[in-house]
Structure 1
Amino acid sequence: MSELKPSQQMLSSCTGAVITSLFMTPFDVVKVRIQAQQRALLDRSCFLYCNGLMDHICNCARTICTHPESAPWYNRPVPVHLNGTVDAFVKISRQEGIQSLWSGLPPTLVVAVPNTVIYFTSYEQLRAKFHQFAPEEAGGPPSWAGGLAGGLARVWAVTLVSPFELVRTKMQAKSMSYREVGEVLRTQLAREGVVSLWRGWVPTILRDVPFSILYWYTYEKQKKLMKQEYPTFTFTLFAGALSGGVS
């Protein structure tokens, strides 16, 4: 059972989400820019990329932009050839400035950080409740409590954040301004009602809930096997990686 207060859990999950965003975004920027060199891979209207916390939709032009300064970051050609990850880090930083490596970060911070805070805080609170009512097995509380808590926490987080995800997706898919999004949403609400704000909820749940159940069950099982009632940083790092891989 966690000894942290809900406010501490919220602060720690918020910090983790920000760190993940700051650390992973440059790698995804480099990956997408390397792919942009191979025009055949981007011969479609849009594509998805994920920076560790959330998926992003990017519109992709079928031809190389002749005005790089006005092109979206993911479709902006670098005047030199990128030969791998390290080379891309160096050349993009030199050509466009190091801040270019964090292109596309704002939408992550606006949507994914609250989502992460809700998810992890709900997980900790639910897991603590389940541990109170579930009989302990040898080596600690049952692992299924973690899996069940993870699944329910994901349902709750997706439900709360879905309307904001809908707005973000519309803005990214059609490069719409906030005013245009507002007009589209008003029309949508008038025609289809409030429930339409949760469009896409079912497939999101079908994807994310099984992942969360498997992830937290595997993680809690490893804690029991390794007798890690209060996990160390090293254990958390490797157990989390293994749980994510299995899920």
Structure 2
Amino acid sequence: MGDRTGLSPASGITPVQQMVASGTGALFTSLFVTPLDVVKIRLQAQKTPFYQGKCFLYCNGLMDHVYVCENGTSCTSWYKTPTHFRGTLDAFVKITRNEGVRSLWSGLPPTLVMAVPATVIYFTCYDQLRDFLRYGMGYQGSQVPLVAGGLARLGAVTVISPLELVRTKMQSRQLSYAELRVCIQSAVAQDGWLSLWRGWGPTILRDVPFSALYWFNYELVKAQLCQGYRVHEATFSMSFCAGAISGAVAAVMTLPFDVVKTRRQIELGEMETLAVVAKKPSSTLMIMRRIWAEAGYRGLFAGFLPRVIKVAPACAVMISTYEFGKAFFQNLNRERELQGQ
């Protein structure tokens, strides 16, 4: 997968340099897209207020509350559900107004803790697998980025899945770190350590096809741009455009599984808040059927705009930063080779 110097035969950089480039890209991307991720999760998690008997129960995607009403539902007239969001812009405005600007970056620490190692694993494994398939196994064609992207994402998701669960809980409900620790400990005590991988199935169904489609389209679009502009290597702007296009296409095609993943991960939090006895988690198919029955196809594509707005620029920023980092190390390695001659 490399020569005696440890350099990749295709990129001309070492795996460590690939890790540094991908980690830097992950840092910038996480800072940029976390507010959009918060809005997406709030829109996916919110439900219509529900009334039953003398109790008023509502879930706005931030927190569950139960009020005992002496006068029936009329006692709720004082409460106007200020954080029920009608859309992406409405969510941005209300979250900022009611909770402060900093709340748009809620869950950023676990996002960084998750995103940096996940991206390092993901991008490094992709490049190494792609080079191995092309130069080690002799495979050529469009199936190489398809297979390499899917396998790399499978490994990264499995390793990072518990941190993804923590991040989703912090963004869907306002939790302190102490409350979050109690929530995680309760989940482990009730359902065992496997509960930390809640949502792994739909995450795999979302991320593995996403990754395969993303890298397939990215390599294709990048090659076409290079051919059109008659250049051998893609420029920063070419990588940016190719990443945005391929990310948007893959995001739209895998959005229903993103909705299911969010719903499944917050199920446990809802049961804990309402003191409901734990039950076996719903399957991916059952959750999809439930969402379809409640809201039709629109429910399966909840958070469509913030996801596309988030994923397209995120992919563009990530891949262009990564390619820029690789180009930097390529030039550095060439200069070292010339100095050593």
TM-score (norm 2): 0.49
Deviation at 1:117, TM superposition (A): 2.0
Alpha carbons of structure 1 residues 245 and 102: separation in structure 2 relative to 1, 3 Å? closer
Q: Deviations over 1:60-86 (max 9, x none)?
A: 995349xxxxxxx963428xxxxxxxx
Q: Partner amino acid for 2:202?
A: P
Aligned residue for 1:127? 130
Aligned residue for 2:95? 75
Alpha carbons of structure 1 residues 60 and 76: separation in structure 2 relative to 1, 3 Å? farther
Alpha carbons of structure 1 residues 110 and 160: separation in structure 2 relative to 1, 3 Å? same
Deviation at 1:12, TM superposition (A): 0.9
Aligned residue for 1:184? 183
Aligned residue for 1:212? 211
1-structure distance, mates of 2:173, 2:104: 21
Aligned: 1:63 with 2:72: no
2-structure distance, mates of 1:168, 1:198: 13
Aligned: 1:45 with 2:59: yes
2-structure distance, mates of 1:174, 1:59: 5
TM-score (norm 1): 0.65
Aligned residue for 1:117? 120
Q: Partner amino acid for 1:63?
A: T
User: Where in structure 2 are there 5+ consecutive unaligned residues?
Assistant: 1-9, 50-57, 66-79, 84-92, 251-341
Q: Percent identity?
A: 46
Answer yes or no: is the 8 Å Cα contact 2:111–2:167 preserved in 1.
Answer: no
Aligned residue for 1:88? none
Answer yes or no: is the 8 Å Cα contact 1:135–1:142 preserved in 2.
Answer: no
Q: Secondary structure at the match of 1:231?
A: coil
Answer yes or no: is the 8 Å Cα contact 1:25–1:101 preserved in 2.
Answer: no
Q: Answer 1 or 2: higher relative contact order, Cα 8 Å, separation at least 6.
A: 2
Q: Partner amino acid for 2:219?
A: E
Deviation at 1:178, TM superposition (A): 3.1
Q: Deviations over 1:184-223 (max 9, x none)?
A: 3334333322222211100011111111111101122234
Answer yes or no: is the 8 Å Cα contact 1:119–1:154 preserved in 2.
Answer: yes
Q: Deviations over 1:138-196 (max 9, x none)?
A: xxx42211111111111111111111122233344443333333333334333322222
Q: Secondary structure at the match of 1:237?
A: helix
Q: Partner amino acid for 2:133?
A: F
Q: Secondary structure at the match of 2:126?
A: helix
Q: Deviations over 1:8-31 (max 9, x none)?
A: 1111111112222334456x49x9
2-structure distance, mates of 1:177, 1:145: 44
- Which structure 2 residues correspond to residues 1-247 of structure 1 after superposition, within 5 A? 1-25=10-34, 28=36, 45-47=59-61, 58-59=62-63, 63-64=81-82, 75-77=95-97, 100=102, 103-104=105-106, 105-135=108-138, 141-225=140-224, 226-227=226-227, 230-247=233-250
2-structure distance, mates of 1:152, 1:229: 28
1-structure distance, mates of 2:232, 2:217: 15
Q: Secondary structure at the match of 2:97?
A: coil
4+ runs deviating over 6 angstroms: 41-44
Q: Which of 1 and 2 has greater Rg?
A: 2
Q: Partner amino acid for 1:193?
A: G
Q: Partner amino acid for 1:122?
A: C
User: Where in structure 1 are there 5+ consecutive unaligned residues?
Assistant: 48-57, 66-72, 79-95
Aligned residue for 2:291? none
1-structure distance, mates of 2:190, 2:31: 39
Aligned residue for 1:91? none
